[in-house]
A and B are shown apart, each in its own frame.
Chain A
Amino acid sequence: MSLLKDAIISALGEDVRFRENYQYPASVVFCTVPKEKFAEAAKAMKKSYALLAAEWATEETPWFGIFACYRWGSEYLIVKTVTTMDDPAFPTLTKKYLPAYRFERQMNSLMGVIPEGHPDLRPWIKFEDWPQDAYPLRKSFDASKPMPRVEGEYRWARAEGEGVYEIPVGPVHAGIIEPGHFRFQAVGEQIINLEERLGYVHKGIEKQFESMRWEDGFRLAGRVSGDTTVAHSLAYCMALESMSGFVPPERACWLRALFLERERIANHLGDIGAICNDAAFAFMFYQLMRLKEGILRTNSELFGHRFIMDRIIPGGVAVDIDVKGKEKILSELKCFEKEFEKLVTIYDENPSLEDRVRDTGVLLPEKARELCAVGIVARASGMNLDCRIFNPFPPYDQYDRIELDVPVLVTGDVHARTWVRIHEVRESIRIIRWLLDNLPDGNINGTIEPPSSEKAGFAAVEGWRGEIIYWLQSGPAGEINRCMVRDPSSVNWLGLEQSIPGNIVPDFPLCNKSFNQSYSGHDL
């Protein structure tokens, strides 16, 4: 039984057609609707409280396929419609779902499809100096040649009035950080509007997938966002495996989960430290970075890479763990946990820190829901979301045995986002212990057949930032026709923009750090 399926049938009746043997895994419902009913389908989904997970376009000559993926609880439903290449327009979903605003701007920029009724079709990712007719995701576009530069202009949102001034920041920021551009309109110290401009690190990743072989794609996926390398390559591999009908060996799944949790701990430690550092509490920063370094070194010693890059491969994993390795991790965790708890107490009892982080950068629960936020940002704003529970792969499907606990807070401020991270580190420590105790024997990888033609694969994985979605499609000759990557940053950047007005300019770094979204994962 699927609630979303029932909802779309009752709203659209005969107009919706379900397609079998196309979308894998079979738990993901796939249906097609006529173009004019595309927005109506969104309305039906909205009524059943589903969230918009992603929206993207494909080229299936002579058509453009327009896809929207909805999520409710553990269910995913993908709605597809087609437009012709002569008339690439389709009804916009922006009025129903806010995140569609960015998705559609991006589809418009990179694929050249037109969301009719969209309020703001300024290019996104595509800069003003790109040729107007450059649509990299179209098949006719030659990706191997550099593009000429043309004259163009980007229109910024403006606020005018007495005492309003503008602060441009970036793309090269003050710290060691990725590039992006922010425009603040401020009155005195108070920010009244923030506009983000991203796309500086656009490397054409989605296009590049199309020129790769299935078995090599995991390397590129692992470099979509360097700090989330495990989760990204895992999502790619899972989508590919679902298309080929391959079930990875049990031991491989357990090890994948182990890597995922270690990645989560390392990144959360860095973030908590950096948040404290931005509130001028350097003590915490250095202590936590010290702990993080320990985790990375163990990774390097046991798995051969500090970030466990390229260790998750289609069909399983590339490295195993022996008894000694297990003991090493367990003894490390014992030490680490003790130290971490001491530091948490210090964080918790420090009033000057609390003064900075409380009620700063508030993303209210209703706003977070409207924006369909995911991951730590969503959980700090009252949304109970976690793919490890709602869309689990083994071993997380045994969550009653793991007793996976998802921290949910409602204040939506910097403090809440820090606490979500602290809870998650504690949870990860517990999960790693459980994983090592229950690690099954057997192979760690198997041979995977390339998928057959005209199929689609889907995977959602909870990375440390939140839900990562990969959608793969094979073309008529069995090649990669499209690989859609949706990093959590694609939606959560909107959350940052929304949480800033009303704060003071010096608090922006603090807010930004507490969101800590990936630029590379967003720009692709």
Chain B
Amino acid sequence: MKTVLISQGTCCKSAGADRVLAAMERELSEVGLEAIVKTPGCHGFSEIDPVVVIEPDGILYAKVKAEDVPKIVQSLMDENRLAKGLYYRDPVTNEGIPYAQDIPFFNKQQRTILKNCGVLDPRDINDYMEAGGYRAVRKALLEMTPAQVVAEVKRSGLRGLGGAGFPTGKKWEMCAAAHGEIKYVICNADEGDPGSFQDRSILEGDPHAVLEGLILAGYAVGAQESYLYVRAEYPLAIKNLQIAIDQAKEKGFIGDDILGSGFKFDIKIFQGAGAFVCGEETALIQSLEGKRGMPYPRPPYPVIAGLHGKPTLIDNVKTLASVRWIINKGADWLASRGTETSKGTAVFSITGKVANCGLVEVPMGITMREIVFEIGGGVPGGKKFKAVQTGGPSGGCLPGALLDTAIDFDTLRAAGSMMGSGGMVVMDEDTCMVDTARYFLDFSLKESCGQCVPCRLGTMQMHEILTRITQGEGKMSDLDLLMELSEGVAKGSLCGLGKTAPNPVETTLRYFRDEYEAHINERRCPSRSCKALISYNINAEKCKGCSICLKACPVDAITGAKKEIHIIDGSKCTKCGICLDVCPDAFGAVECF
């Protein structure tokens, strides 16, 4: 019997996957065809949502609409037929690719953390167990001592995938050695980096893998209680996690005497109330205690004195989801992948001006070029690549010259950026790098908790200067001032937010100084994106008087009549650029200076 997979992640649903699912169920029952319909989480290739996959053949239909469903069902009834025209088309070669395994986006990846996402039903523990789930818990609890679990994780070389890259095994060892009857384990799922959604997809699509990691961590360090700190903005993730917890309790993987081993463990969900700084572990702890999420100085580190003053182990979603592989396959298996200092794989969400948006899992050490151009399919619309931004507001913007850098924790840091939680935003010639720096500073200043003066006021000053530059009112001396402030903010802040907030400014100044200079010296935005420095005009020779732009202008700034040349009133124009978008390509009458 065929299995029909229709992913139901947040992004899939908003692209219409729920309508496709309803149509599929209706159609199957109408024609009386028996097939298993499964609703896994996100498959990662968000660009082509909604997706329908037919197993065991591995046929993938992309961007499916409800009205395409009868065609797919017809093809199911006829063994060897493909629903033509519905499968994925390569944006470069325009060649149709019916099998998922042949699509470049998938076949360049090495999926372990994401293995189950888009494949298993996240709301069915049996599905997970049939795929080898909870085997690691069984093995650890019944065949290994906690010290052996710690040793195995340590030997694998796994580093924290939340961004900082601290050796996971070492952290576990410290927490296991810490004195105290009561210990806690926390899964940091407060994914707040703008431009990242890998944690969300894992929580939605493979919640049991995270729970399994938490149970293993609890056993290794000797904790009985744990919290999943999830953003309240991720309602589907919270729902799927709660279902997973209930099912795991029922099966006896969470409870008083797990698998008869005598190990007792409980997992609770805590919804983060929306503060980026709570991704910082000390702030997260404050928040769990019901306080304002303000970081506090370390030491003592949370592994010694954390939540309610007790030893607390905090790991990211991806780190925890990796652990079961180490227990199942052994430390050497993970250690054999990746680079000398960064082991295993990394999950990136690749977004922005790139043809194939989505979630990718690649071995550490892959180059940025491979990710952006081979997996990501390059920049769409014939535009030129400009930069790739990694690590969210704490990261930096790296130029084309660094595309061949092998990506791991250390090389990214050396280039002035960082791995962060794995967000990767591609920028093209239309993205202004000064405005990008301003955008990130705007984020950091709003999210600064306010207790360190350099962070609270420094980011504000930097933002003011950057805003001035984007408005064409900057001075060359501003650039030195920006560098000086960057240094001050980085040195004078307590937590990671402040320490890394200047990174976007420093890297754009280092790699794209010419753009700053163009804004300051020539009052010109080379990317034509800073509103104060551009203007729109209708070329009288090209305008055909079709009145499309006139109707589309939201502020009625365009005058003229049908068959007459249109004129933009500069005093009314808000520079939204809609006229440029709607002007038919054949005319190309609207110009932007």
Specify whether A and B are partners.
no
